[in-house]
Chains A and B, each alone.
Chain A
Amino acid sequence: MDAGELTIEPVTRIEGHSRVTILLEKKKVKGARFNIVESPRFFEKLLEGKFAEEAPRITQRICGVCPVAHHLASVKAVEAAWDCSPPEAAINLRRLMLVGQLISSHSLHLGFLALPDLLDLDDRSILGIAQRDPKLASSIFKLNRFGLRITEAVGGRAVHPVSAIPGGMSKPLEGELRDELLVTGKECMGMAYNLADLLDETGDNRRELIRCFDLGRTRYLSLTSDGQYELYDGKVAVLNPSGKKEIEFEPKDYSDHIAEKTIPHSYAKHPYLRRFGYPAGIYRVGPLARLNMTARATAGRVAEHVMSLAKRFGRPAHNTFAYDHARAIELVHAVEQALDMLTDPAIETNDVFVRAQPREGRGVGIVEAPRGLLIHDYRTDSDGLVTKANIVTPTTQNTPSIESETLRLASSLFPHAAGHVQEMLSRIEILIRAYDPCLTCSTHFVELRRSA
């Protein structure tokens, strides 16, 4: 194709609605755009005037795939605003629920969205997998079910849990549920290992595909606790492209470090690190960021996998395809963590709640959602009603990279695309899928700026 416009619409097998447009002129890529056309739902505006303790149940409707992350970031923000510390036992339950979310989200992404590209299938879908390899499909389902069941057991419901309330949790984890989860978890351990092995295998078989996702080096941002892998608490740290930790800050200070640039040719806002300006301050979040950040991997099989990640992609790993490897590793780690937490008798503790006092305040709640760092920032009045809310989602933080890499990949592929246009367009989709974007999360708002 010499000139004209190529469109992928919609980009399939991702959460949410988007389109890619590639402009060609004289066989060269003149431009490539990744447009999110998902409808804005105005959650930040919607929160104004609501009882802040209702925010965890309200804001999780931003996303049906990662509601737990919003539920927890939200309750943390309210607790921070009201200067309330929940009991240790409540935090343990929340950690368990978050790990459960990682399991359900990653298994959904890998099994239903990403793997169909990596296995040689006529029908690139979970239905195709079920037909070709029923045992693999069954493992994916079991893992997904385990994650959802954890959320249901701790949160009350599998999708859109209800138990996180400012002050703690509305209920402890019942013994029978804990027992059931332990049994299922042990069954799932092997399946998680197999999935990670499968990704490794695929890496070996698809070197050429993977090479084209070497699209640059970025900074990474994630939670960390002294170099340890962290999902629920800790500080926010920034890794430079060479892997050195440059900045570390408290969640409450995020706005001192992260700014958002309005982009004239898109209605998305691009977050970036203030210290380095735009666009040098662009960074990536998510499984790759978290594993790159982890200086000391936990022992055992996960350490092996982290080493193989480093071996295949370098340290830090920059290749976008490494995201899926990282997800598979995180899935293993998450099942191990879940089993650890479930085995600890402390998980059954009844003392999971202290009474929070609604008051005027401002609070920031940050967790690592499956897709990356998630920030909820609320102001409340003396009645405890939300007066202002700001929510920064992981996909928003990855959008600048998705956009720039789409252009870079298209530019590198298209001069040689003759006769293989579909294959090239497919690679661009695979690139986007590797980010596991959650577009309903990223467009829960439209910039509500008044024109200057």
Chain B
Amino acid sequence: MTTIATLSLSGDAGCHVILASLHEKLIKLLEPHELVFCQILKDSRTIPDPVDLTLVEGSVRTEYDRERLREARARTKTFVAIGSCACFGGIQSLCNVLDRQELMRETYGAMAPETSLPRGDLPEVLPKNLPVHEVVNVDFSIPGCPPESDEVASCLQAILSGGTPQLSLKNVCDECKKERKGKLEAKIRRLTERPTDLDRCLLELGYVCMGPATRAGCQAKCLAANVPCEGCRGPADQKYDQGVAMLDALTSAGRDAISVYSLATMSAMYHRYSFATSILAKLFERK
């Protein structure tokens, strides 16, 4: 019997929606165990100490997130990061490209003397948005924005039976049904242009498709809908930098990967969900 808790940090609750959408599977999964803390589904107010398994959704954006995260980690035996916010920082990491001083000034400017609100009532925004593993140790990660329900179910099943969840080590291209001809078109295309050939690889047609640098497991649904992969599942192997790996892939394939656009623009194309973990963000942060 495993006691289970879920924690929500800075996110959109999408991972909890996926959990809830397991429906009967969720009921069945939880049957031999006990859900002791899950504030969206139950009237639970604190994480018990100790607890066997905690799933954490969301990134660390405020001091309050960090405190709650540390407290939960200290009480938990097995800690699982679920969703790309927890695993990589998520889409809100794109703010890390904003100058730290500017963001701090603007944030604290809002808490200027004209508001008489005591500091304790407002979450103090940290200089950078962080993934969970940069604050505490994580035992398993289930990436995705949101993660696939089947994958969540099978990972939970594995963890609850004392095993190790297996994520795909392939990339999205392996699951994509579009046809690859091995030739990149010279022109770079934006999403506003509909692909002329709906059966053809979107990367080859010139779209920014993160398939080569993104972990498989989603059946390339976005590609099936004729839209390029935005990389929401993070890199196929966490030791790779998604955007930089993409840059490598494109330059190898013959594309001049120089963009006239800024880091602010291009980080949303190559690092949309993983910017917090990217080496570019780390280099940028030295200021």
Contacts and interface: CB of A to CB of B under 8 A. Distances in A.
A148 interface: yes
Interface in B251-272: 261-262, 264-265, 268-269, 272
Nearest to A41: B92
Given A10-B39, A12-B43, A267-B111, A63 B192 contact: no
Contacts of B115: 262, 264-265, 267
A378 B230 CA distance: 22
Interface stretch (B11-19, B169-177, B179-187, B242-250): B11-19
B117 A37 contact: no
B55 to A, nearest CB: 14
Contacts of A9: 45
Interface in B79-124: 90-92, 94-95, 98, 103, 105-107, 109-117, 121-123
B64 A12 contact: no
Contacts of A61: 12, 14, 90-92, 145
How big is the B interface, by class?
Answer: 35 or more
A165 B227 contact: yes
Interface string B55-66: 000100110110
Interface string A140-162: 01001100100010011111101
A86 B47 CA distance: 49
B40 A12 contact: yes
Interface in A15-32: 15-17
B224 interface: yes
B125 interface: yes
B227 A156 contact: yes
B192 A39 contact: no
Contacts of B41: 13, 112, 125-127
Contact of B116 (A37, A46, A264): A264
Majority DSSP secondary structure for residues of A touching B: loop
A130 interface: yes
B68 to A, nearest CB: 9
A16 B106 contact: no
A126 B40 CA distance: 11
Most buried by A among B12, B45, B106, B149: B12
A137 interface: yes
Contacts of B116: 264-265
A14 B65 contact: no
A129 to B, nearest CB: 10
B140 to A, nearest CB: 21
Nearest to B111: A267
A158 B90 CA distance: 19
B192 A57 contact: no
A41 B225 contact: no
Contacts of A452: 112, 114
Given A42-B95, A159-B14, A148 B9 contact: no
Interface stretch (B23-31, B158-166, B276-284): B23-31
A122 to B, nearest CB: 11
Contacts of B227: 156, 162-163, 165, 170
Interface residues of A, number: 81
Interface in B1-21: 8-18, 20-21
B146 A264 contact: no
A54 B17 contact: no
A414 interface: no
A185 interface: no
B153 interface: no
Interface in A169-209: 170-171
Contacts of B122: 267
A130 to B, nearest CB: 5
A342 to B, nearest CB: 18
Nearest to A266: B117
A49 interface: yes
Q: Which 3 A-B pairs have the closest CB atoms?
A: A64-B14, A156-B225, A451-B112
Interface of A: 9-10, 12-17, 35, 37-43, 45-46, 48-51, 53-54, 57-58, 61-65, 67, 108, 112-113, 123-127, 130, 137-138, 141, 144-145, 148, 152, 155-160, 162-163, 165-167, 170-171, 262, 264-267, 353, 355-358, 384-385, 440, 446-452
Given A65-B13, A159-B17, 4 more contacts: A12-B43, A64-B12, A160-B232, A162-B221
Interface of B: 8-18, 20-21, 23-24, 27, 30, 35, 39-45, 58, 61-62, 64-65, 90-92, 94-95, 98, 103, 105-107, 109-117, 121-123, 125, 129, 145-146, 149, 190-194, 221-222, 224-227, 230, 232, 261-262, 264-265, 268-269, 272
14 contacts: A13-B42, A58-B91, A58-B268, A63-B14, A126-B41, A127-B35, A144-B20, A156-B225, A162-B221, A162-B227, A165-B191, A384-B190, A446-B125, A450-B105
